[in-house]
Chain A
Amino acid sequence: GAVVSQHPSWVICKSGTSVKIECRSLDFQATTMFWYRQFPKQSLMLMATSNEGSKATYEQGVEKDKFLINHASLTLSTLTVTSAHPEDSSFYICSARTVGDQPQHFGDGTRLSIL
């Protein structure tokens, strides 16, 4: 149980393109979903937290107009990187949880490369 599916697993696109990443909880309802970014040999850095039906809460330094998050249902959240540039290239990972101090369950990440 507790499977989170993230799609696509990798994307290569030109600078200026917008890219959408999907995160789905397959067998549970996710009260909260999280989006992380990870650079090589670094820890996961939280970008934003989203609750179903409400606006995402962004961490300091993360541009909300650049990284659009939509949490339309209890099983789906999307991250759209708008007008992506090479510096946006990274490994993006989503996670989902239910309530209380339950663990977060992670997707397998999306490797984004902007040329």
Chain B
Amino acid sequence: SQKIEQNSEALNIQEGKTATLTCNYTNYSPAYLQWYRQDPGRGPVFLLLIRENEKEKRKERLKVTFDTTLKQSLFHITASQPADSATYLCAPPDSGAGSYQLTFGKGTKLSVIP
């Protein structure tokens, strides 16, 4: 199965700055990787999916990159706002090509300070 490491448990940044969250995986290269947002007491909400042949994916203020050489995905939030404060989860498939079960990291709790 896949092992996930998200760079830090908590990240505090000033409003307006860019937040960068890191996700490293250690076993096989996933065919794709998903990022979710989770608020306290709620289920995760899907944000972005990036495939192995895509270097970068964007959605509004969000950007995800996927580096299969480094076995790493970076998640960026530009012009961060206090409403972006949440836990962000990285989730590649649990095993190789064709798998649809996801392995979730522990997440990074982002706090955007006004």
Secondary structure dominating the interface of B: loop
Contact with B along A85-113 (1 / 0, CB 8 A): 00000010101010001011111110100
Pairwise interchain contact B106-A43, C-beta atoms closer than 8 A: yes
Within 8 Å by CB of B104, from A43, A101, A103, A108, lies A43
Contact with A along B12-32 (1 / 0, CB 8 A): 000000000000000000011
Contact with A along B85-106 (1 / 0, CB 8 A): 0000100011000001110111
Pairwise interchain contact B45-A32, C-beta atoms closer than 8 A: no
Chain A residues with CB under 8 Å of B93's CB are 101
Chain A residues with CB under 8 Å of B104's CB are 43-44
Chain A residues with CB under 8 Å of B100's CB are 32, 97, 101
Pairwise interchain contact B44-A106, C-beta atoms closer than 8 A: yes
Q: How many residues of B contact A (CB 8 A)?
A: 22
Known: A44-B104, A97-B100, A101-B100. A109 touches B43 (CB 8 A): yes
Within 8 Å by CB of A104, from B41, B102, B105, B106, lies B102
Q: How far, in angstroms, from A2 to B51 measured CA to CA in the complex? A: 20
Tally of A-B residue pairs with Cβ under 8 A?
50
Within 8 Å by CB of A109, from B42, B46, B101, B107, lies B42
Q: How far, in angstroms, from A44 to B105 measured CA to CA in the complex? A: 8
Chain A residues with CB under 8 Å of B46's CB are 2, 103-106
Chain B residues with CB under 8 Å of A109's CB are 41-43
B35: shortest Cβ distance to chain A, in Å?
10
Pairwise interchain contact B34-A103, C-beta atoms closer than 8 A: yes
Pairwise interchain contact A49-B101, C-beta atoms closer than 8 A: yes
Q: How far, in angstroms, from A103 to B101 measured CA to CA in the complex? A: 10
A78: CB under 8 A from chain B? no
B49: CB under 8 A from chain A? yes
Contact with B along A37-63 (1 / 0, CB 8 A): 000011110100100000000000000
Chain B residues near A (Cβ < 8 Å): 31-32, 34, 36, 41-46, 49, 51, 89, 93-94, 100-102, 104-107
Chain A residues near B (Cβ < 8 Å): 2, 4, 6, 32, 34, 41-44, 46, 49, 91, 93, 95, 97, 101, 103-109, 111
